[in-house]
């Protein structure tokens, strides 16, 4: 079978002028929101020279699994396990085929700044910030994740690439389109990114983003809610109440939520209900009485 690097080779990069083919992956969130890497991912990236993971890895074993394809370089994201946050850098500068490439998740390290940036739906500031990160490093290419939206954007001489995501961006949604990308580098430094939708890994996928329509419109094309109407009505109040608990209590609570949500992420069921969440909370002996009380107080009347 033809390796992916040959199958998706762009016409303006003849095989004789190809200096490197890099595989790009991001937002695997394993195992919190993804039980295992999907098998089509390995086929879609077969034959690349190097794999770059743009953050929100999850457990570091994800990188071990990916190394079956090629050596892996990774950065941490904003929603990581403690071990990944500790072991991986915020950004990594690489030099490949005479060009610099900046690998970053793309989030703000400061939580308050990150949340403030999400209130602006315009693409302009989001793209400009990532371009600025690249230019400050003297990079010609910036590979980032975080948005869960596959895209390629050229800002004058700078190429911005997001391979898309494997898992959902939060516990409330499902990733409708799971994508990776291959980055081809020509001997003169010219770079072309080719995306692959893992639902159809035998052909290239062309992500289309309407920059004028804003960020939310683009996200809605690749992500959808898994919440029932009853749970949708209560989730913000629940998040605020549980979020106010000490971290050692809140973390297991959201793990219980994720166990229920996995049935939606795996395709076993269409939506997540208050009853689904409470069933997980009630059967978990490790949760504190305070956590149980918060869930029961908010969701109990919907679950019976």
User: 151 with 259, same domain?
Assistant: no
User: 18 with 167, same domain?
Assistant: yes
d(C-alpha 260, C-alpha 52), whole Å: 31
CATH assignment of the domain containing 69: 3.60.21.10
User: 69 with 206, same domain?
Assistant: yes
Domain boundary among 224, 244, 263: 224
User: 146 with 256, same domain?
Assistant: no
Query: What pLDDT was estimated at residue 2?
Result: 65
User: 78 with 168, same domain?
Assistant: yes
Does residue 164 carry a pLDDT above 60?
A: yes
User: 165 with 70, same domain?
Assistant: yes
pTM: 0.95
User: 96 with 202, same domain?
Assistant: yes
| 97-110 tens-digit pLDDT | 899 999 999 999 99
Query: What pLDDT was estimated at residue 4?
Result: 83
Domain with 234 in it: 226-303
Domain boundary among 179, 201, 224: 224
Domain boundary among 224, 259, 281: 224
Task: For the chain, give the percent of residues with pLDDT over 70.
Answer: 99
Query: What pLDDT was estimated at residue 177?
Result: 97
User: 115 with 48, same domain?
Assistant: yes
User: 276 with 207, same domain?
Assistant: no
User: What is the domain count for the chain?
Assistant: 2
Mean predicted confidence (pLDDT) in 259-279: 96
User: 248 with 185, same domain?
Assistant: no
User: 171 with 189, same domain?
Assistant: yes
User: 209 with 236, same domain?
Assistant: no
| 2-58 tens-digit pLDDT | 688 899 999 999 999 999 999 999 999 999 999 999 999 999 999 999 999 999 999
| 238-257 tens-digit pLDDT | 999 998 989 899 989 999 99
Mean predicted confidence (pLDDT) in 216-226: 97
């Amino acid at each position: 079978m033809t390796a992916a690097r040959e199958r998706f080779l762009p016409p303006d990069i003849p095989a004789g002028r190809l200096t490197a083919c890099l595989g790009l992956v991001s937002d695997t969130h394993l195992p919190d929101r993804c039980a295992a890497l999907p098998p089509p991912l390995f086929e879609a990236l077969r034959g690349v020279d190097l794999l770059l993971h743009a953050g929100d890895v999850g457990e570091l074993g994800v990188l071990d699994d990916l190394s079956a394809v090629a050596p892996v370089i990774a950065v941490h994201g904003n929603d990581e396990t403690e071990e990944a946050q500790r072991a991986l850098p915020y950004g990594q500068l690489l030099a490949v085929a005479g060009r610099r490439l900046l690998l970053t998740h793309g989030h703000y390290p400061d939580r308050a700044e990150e949340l403030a940036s999400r209130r602006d739906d315009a693409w302009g500031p989001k793209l400009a910030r990532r371009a600025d990160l690249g230019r400050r490093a003297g990079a010609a290419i910036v590979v980032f994740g975080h948005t869960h939206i596959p895209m390629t954007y050229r800002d004058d001489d700078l190429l911005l690439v997001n391979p898309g995501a494997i898992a959902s961006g939060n516990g409330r949604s499902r990733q409708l389109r799971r994508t990776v990308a291959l980055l081809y580098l020509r001997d003169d430094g010219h770079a072309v990114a080719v995306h692959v939708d893992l639902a159809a890994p035998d052909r290239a996928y062309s992500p289309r983003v309407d920059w004028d329509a804003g960020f939310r419109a683009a996200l809605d094309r690749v992500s959808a809610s898994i919440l029932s109407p009853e749970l949708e009505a209560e989730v913000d109040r629940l998040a605020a109440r549980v979020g106010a608990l000490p971290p050692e209590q809140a973390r297991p609570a959201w793990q219980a939520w994720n166990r229920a949500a996995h049935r939606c992420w795996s395709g076993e069921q269409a939506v997540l209900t208050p009853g689904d969440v409470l069933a997980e909370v009630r059967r978990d002996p490790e949760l504190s009485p305070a956590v149980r009380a918060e869930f029961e107080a908010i969701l109990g009347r919907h679950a019976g």
